[in-house]
Every structure is written in structure tokens, then in C-alpha cells.
Amino acid sequence: MPDVSDFILKLQRRRIEGSHATARQTAELLRSVVSQTRMPYTNQAAALLDAVRAVGEQLIAANPVELAVGNIVRRVLHIIREEDLSSSAVSFEGLMISEKSDDEDDVDQKGGPALSAAALAAAARSTLRPRSLQTLLEDGPMPAVPSKSSSAGDSEGKSKSDKSAVGKRLKHSVIEAINLLIEEINDCYEDISEQAVEHIHQNEVILTLGRSKTVKEFLYAAKQKNRSFRVFVAEGAPRYQGHVLAKELIQKGLETTVITDSAIFAMISRVNMVIVGAHAIMANGGVIAPVGMNMLALAAQRHAVPFVVVAGSHKLCPLYPHNPEVLLNELKSPSELIDFGEFSDCMDFGAHGGAPLMHVVNPTFDYVPPNLVSLFITDTGGHNAAHMYKLIADYYSADDLVIKRKSTSSN
């Protein structure tokens, strides 16, 4: 099996920077898990689902704040289900053709009646899934399949060979689909940036907050298309990622102005559009983004300025903010806010029963409700918040919203 423990350690110690890299490496790890999973003669899809769930559960627990991990785990589970349905449809079609051919031979040679469509459907269902009490009641007695001249041993060997071939085809199809997912993640910056000229026009003023690579590439693309515009960058205290972004934009020749976070309401009236990135986009269209983003969204709404969120599809999360599986925030070190040397007198842990006199809270993220978002721009195009659930439904299965291993034992 792939080195899952090493990847878990990286997630726990926050050694992977950004949701994009996390999503890509998660998909690559799950591809290895699928590739090295041993396929049984029956329930090949169930074996793959259980293997991915077992690993995915550990990955999500290693860093619950990084929702991209769970997104990719659920995407892979959805891929397995879709490929299994496709494989089952192909197998059923082959069974229909085979039965039809055999029945024609029997009619020609023996004059016997052909199997009915209902009987063939019952036989196909029994072939594609294990028999249970429910399916026995649904399907009724198994149809009598005309015997062939081959021996029982040959039939059993052929059946095992066919199931093994089906398992290999399923695994191959899943791996190919995961490769496409990895390619989609790798190309998301380019696919989103191609839409920049449709949204950024001449002589506009753009305001952003945070240090989103997606936003940076989006602005670069508009500049390369000879769009002339200005960028206001909120400094993003206490980590001041806006300072770093401003330097990067200036190096690309973009006219950039740095403002304090407290000046957002004062400057928003001069802005034509707000363009920001996201940590995650929830199923209701809400956005988890760097701290201070809700204040910016409220300012944009107050002054009727479009608030645009750019993000790759790997950041689309099928969960709602109130789901217990969602950890909305993470507290960073107080040292980013204060100097412990200067405030040591305020932190007298010997007073008041051992409780400190000063408490420092340094959250990482904000939550922006969907009613404050004007437009989402993803690698599949532009979408409004009301239609995000439809886009998310294309990527995930309802059965996989809670990542939990299911017992495969049977009585």
C-alpha cells in the first residue's frame, strides 16, 4: 500500500501549503490506493469504496480544517460509483446480446422458447449483484438458463475469468477517471484565468483581500490581454499577506495600492469590483475565506459593488456550514498579534485562580453567506450562488457525504 502515514503526518503538521497542492496530492494518493487494492471475484466496487473510505477517514481526521481533502475523497468515491454503473451497464448489454444469440441457436436447433425480457433482467441482476432476501423476493425464482455442452468446471473457470476481467476493467476505468481529476486540478488556474477578460474591463479598480494564487493568476491574465486597471490590496492583518501579494503584482507591472483593513469601507466607493479567492465553497453557496472577508463582502453589498469569488472545482464542498463534520475555523498563534515580552504583565497566570488576565483570539477564516456573493467563477465557468448546489451535485454522491467505513461482512 502507498505510504499513507507519511501523508497523514504532512497534513497534521501543515507541511502542505494551500488547498490546490493538498487536493492534488490527495488525489494522487487515492489513485495509488485504488491501484494497489486487491479485487475480489465479487463486489469489486464495494472493495474499492471500502479501501478509499478507510484511507479518506484518516486523511480527513488529520486536518479537518482543510476541506479540500474531504472533497477529493468524496470525488473519488463518486467516480467509483459512476464507473461501476457504467461497467454494469456494459456487462448487462453484453449479457443481453449473449442470451439473445444463444436463444436463437436453441430455437433453430431445438425449437424451444426463448427467455423473456423479464427473465433476462432477473438473470442480469443476479449476475451484477449478490443475491439477498430482498432481491430474491423482487426477482422471484431464478430462470432456468439453457444448459450448454461445456462441463461445470469449465463454466466455473470461465465465470471466474470473466469476473476477474470485469474487476480489472473497473479498476482501470477508475484510475483513468482519477487521472482526469488530477489534470482538472492542475489546469484550474489556466481555465479560470481564461475568463478574466470577460469580467475585468478597461480602467476599472479592483479590490482584493488575502493572497490567493487563483486571484493573482486571474489578474495576470487580464493584464496580458492589455487590460489597463488598478488593484487595491487590503493588507490582511495580522499575517499581512496583502503586502506579499502587492509586491508580486507590482513585479508583473500592475498598478497596485495597499490599504489597511480598517480602510475598506472608506475606499470601497472607488472600487468597481471585488475579486477574492476562497478556502472552500459550501453547498449552500456560502464561502469560507480568509479572516476579514465578511467585512469586505458587507462593504461591497452596502455600496452595490459586485463581490466575485474565483476558485477551482476542488474547493466545492458538498457539506453545509452547520454540518458537524465541518470545522469552520482554526486559531493561529497569539504571537502574530502581540509581543509576549511587552504584554507579560497582562498575562499573570498566578492571579485569579490561575486564569490569565488577557485572552488573545486569532482566527484564520471568515464565513461569507451566499447572499453577499454576486458571482462564482470556477474552471467550469461563471455561476451564481443559487445554482451552486446543482454544480456540486454533479461531483458528489449523497451516500458519501459522511465518510465512514461500512462493514462488508455478511451472515
pLDDT, tens digit, 9 for 90 and up, residues 145-169? 444 444 555 555 555 555 556 667 8
The pLDDT score that the predictor gives to residue 359 is: 81
Domain ranges of the chain: 4-186, 189-329+364-400
Pairing of strands 381-383, 307-310: unpaired
pLDDT, tens digit, 9 for 90 and up, residues 35-81? 999 988 888 999 999 999 999 999 999 999 999 999 999 999 999 99
- pLDDT of residue 245 exceeding 70: yes
Which of 305-314, 334-343, 373-382 has the weakest average pLDDT?
334-343
Percent of the chain at pLDDT exceeding 70: 76
* Nearest to 320, CA basis, from 366, 293, 287, 292: 287
For all residues of the chain together, what is the average pLDDT? 84
Q: Sign of the C-alpha dihedral, residues 116, 121, 124, 125? A: negative
CATH 3.40.50.2000 fits 189-329+364-400, yes or no: no
As a whole number of Å, the end-to-end CA separation of the chain is 29
Percent of the chain at pLDDT exceeding 90: 64
pLDDT, tens digit, 9 for 90 and up, residues 87-120? 777 655 555 555 555 555 554 444 444 444 444 4
Alpha-carbon gap, residue 379 to 213, rounded angstroms: 14
Identity of the amino acid at 208: T
- Scan for cell 470525488, then name that residue: 75
pTM: 0.80
